[in-house]
Copies of this chain bind each other. A is one copy, B any other.
Amino acid sequence: MAGETHRPERRADALTKERIVEAAVALLDAGGADGLTFRALAARLATGSGAIYWHIADKHALLAAATDHVIARALADRVASAPPREAIRALALAVFDAIDAHPWVGAQLSGDPWQYAVLCILAGIGAQVTALGVAERHRFNAATALLSFVLGLAGQYAVGSRLVGGDKDRAAFLRDVAARWAQLDPERHPFVRQVAARLAEHDDREQFLAGIDLILAGLERAH
């Protein structure tokens, strides 16, 4: 009995999956997807690069675990008990804001849509689609349509933010794209030229919610 209380303390800096994932998130936030290497991770954790493989299978699993970590936190922060329509908007915005804070998550979600984090998002959407009163046979298509939209814009948004830095960089990026679009052949791409101006001045969040509302409006019309 007494012996148990004296069992050796774990070294304060012992490797755990959690510590590895937290360090990975920090590297990804600082340097994007390219910033995460096993060598950089080992250096930050003051260990050998091979040690990480004792706790995590490979880089694919490491990226998935880092994404799970961010998304789980984002989904947990929501307040529950809102009407379904608002709950879907809140859920989508939570994902959107998580990608805003961690742009690499956007690419990871759309690049590996069968990972656990995406399943959690789908579960959240599905619960609200059910609460909305959508007939059982339409729920699957309705929920996956919302999910596809969220993941699609997630990828799109992530790329604009990827070029490091804050909102200024994204604004500059969009200005560049808009300028390129404005120079297109008006004959072949009249629409794109037309919306080029809107692109530079548009608000991502507003565009995102408009898309969600569009799908929700379609859902209401269907039943």
A178 to B222, CA, bound (A): 27
Chain A interface residue bracket vs B:
35 or more
Q: How many copies does the complex hold?
A: 2
A114 to B112, CA, bound (A): 20
A91 interface hit (Cβ, 8 Å): no
A148 touches B145 (CB 8 A): no
A119 to B217, CA, bound (A): 26
Binds B, one of A9-17, A44-52, A195-203: A195-203
A219 interface hit (Cβ, 8 Å): yes
A152 to B222, CA, bound (A): 22
Instruction: Considering the complex, give the chain B residue whose CB is closest to the CB of A196.
Output: B140
Binds B, one of A23-31, A35-43, A80-88, A208-216: A208-216
Residues in chain B near residue A122, CB distance under 8 A: 191-192
- Taking Cβ atoms with an 8 Å cutoff, the residues of A that contact B are 107, 110-114, 119, 122-123, 126-127, 129-130, 139-145, 147-156, 159-160, 177, 181, 184, 188-192, 194-195, 198-199, 202, 207, 210-211, 213-222
